[in-house]
Amino acid sequence: MHTHPHYSQSAIDELSRAYPLLNPLMALTPVSWFNPERQPLEQALTGVNLNADDVADAAARLNRFASYFRAVFPNTRALNGLLESPVQPLAAMQRAMDTRLEQPLAGTLMLKRDDLLPVSGSIKARGGIYEVLQNAEKLAIKAGLLHPSDDYAKLDSDEFRAFFGQYSVAVGSTGNLGLSIGIISAKLGFKVSVHMSADAREWKKARLRSHGVNVVEYQNDYSVAVAEGRAKAQNDPCCHFVDDENSVQLLLGYAVAGQRLKAQLEKQDIKVDKEHPLFVYLPCGVGGGPGGVAFGLKLAFGDAVHCVFAEPTHSPCMLLGVYTGLHDSISVQDLGIDNLTAADGLAVGRPSGFVGRVMAPLLDGFYTLPDEDMLNLLSLLARQEGIYLEPSALAGMPGPWRVENEDQGYRERMGLTPARLARAHHLVWATGGGMVPEEEMAKYLAAGS
């Protein structure tokens, strides 16, 4: 178990004198912060023992499993058994946002549709599913049942389900990670337990139970669900715990998105280089999803890609950790911030220290926004484009305007001239919403209009 320092009121006062942005953060006022410590990619990678080969290895593993996906999830056949989502322009939404924010965006707004990812309808279908596959492959190879050159469709058999049934998988989750890991683990034959925080939606728990998943409920927030799940799994050598706060495998699974996006943009004749910058806006909870995707994007596009994380005003954990350099040794609750948000995928009070340390020199910035904005944007996007997302997935939408309005010298430092910004693409990562039941969506739409 981790132990965490306790902060007295005088320690918090001292901290907020050294880090003045903590004052508006504690007042729940939306803030933007552009990272003065951002380093060129080469330099930032020197302290990291993960590289492009590790990500290529993860991509190759997903390719090996493609025939299994074609066999057991028929809706992945159109994509040849890969879990990938489209990128689309958002012209009507861009005009509506220009009006709403009273400022025309110079570049082009686009949306990455991870809400359409097969199997679980969220970004968690990248990292979460990858880690389960990596573990399954390792077990089967070790037992002499599988060879990397085999056709992995053979995993869809009673023999393999019985084999995996000797093992279990566990995870702590606010919802979507549990859905992804629960569904794929149960499909392969693993026994699986999902430890759900209090903010997890009822329908997500019901969906998991219908797949035969053991759902363990907590009255506490996400960090407690993770800690309890981790502690229970530690006593069981046959249990693999997917540790959302510390997992290299999760990060690699998410990072595969980088090369895939590069190929998609090339197909659409969208250039990315110093003269044609790409901005990507990623909603952030504990950090694994956006951190992994951003890591993959940096490897794929180098310094031409600019990654910005978005968090709710009530759960700004990664901003807090990176801005103060305290990472996972401080939580938003330490500052008296309640971690209560309608954006359930982002309801995390303490960030991943692993992700924060790897990504701190690579990220361009962070901003926070109130729940009300996410809900309003949810309904605006539905009206303008007929696209239905969950609240968390809207966190990235105001990002391009935050960049264009910043007054911290960031654009100048990065050489982001007006001419370059006019050629920029701004990609908002729509992290989820594909599995939200209609009656839940109706509630979101009503709340946002």
Residues that bind ligand PLP (CB under 6 A): 122-124, 176-177, 283-290, 345-346, 348, 390, 392-393, 431-432
Provide the minimum distance between the beta carbon of 280 and ligand PLP in the complex, in angstroms, as a whole number.
Answer: 13
DSSP 408: S
Provide the minimum distance between the beta carbon of 389 and ligand PLP in the complex, in angstroms, as a whole number.
Answer: 8
- At position 342, the amino acid (one-letter code) is A
- DSSP line for 275-329: TB-EEEEEE-SSSHHHHHHHHHHHHHHGGGEEEEEEEETT--HHHHHHHHS-GGG
Reported as type and span, the H/E element at residue 32 is strand 32-34
Nearer to ligand PLP, 115 or 303 (CB): 115
**Which of 386, 383, 415, 410 lies closest to 399 in space, CA to CA?**
410
Nearer to ligand PLP, 140 or 359 (CB): 359
| Dist. CA 119–CA 132, nearest whole Å | 14
> What is the Cα Rg of the chain in Å?
21
Three-class SS state of 202 = helix
Nearer to ligand PLP, 81 or 345 (CB): 345
Nearer to ligand PLP, 146 or 355 (CB): 355
Nearer to ligand PLP, 398 or 432 (CB): 432
Instruction: Check residue 121 and give left, alpha or beta (phi > 0: left; psi -120 to 50: alpha).
Output: left
Provide the minimum distance between the beta carbon of 346 and ligand PLP in the complex, in angstroms, as a whole number.
Answer: 6
**Which of 62, 66, 77, 215 lies closest to 131 in space, CA to CA?**
62
Per the CB < 8 A criterion, the answer to whether 140 and 156 are in contact is no
Nearer to ligand PLP, 244 or 303 (CB): 244
Alpha carbon 353 to chain centroid, angstroms: 15
- Cα torsion 211, 212, 217, 222: sign: negative
Provide the minimum distance between the beta carbon of 338 and ligand PLP in the complex, in angstroms, as a whole number.
Answer: 18
Provide the minimum distance between the beta carbon of 162 and ligand PLP in the complex, in angstroms, as a whole number.
Answer: 32
Nearer to ligand PLP, 81 or 285 (CB): 285
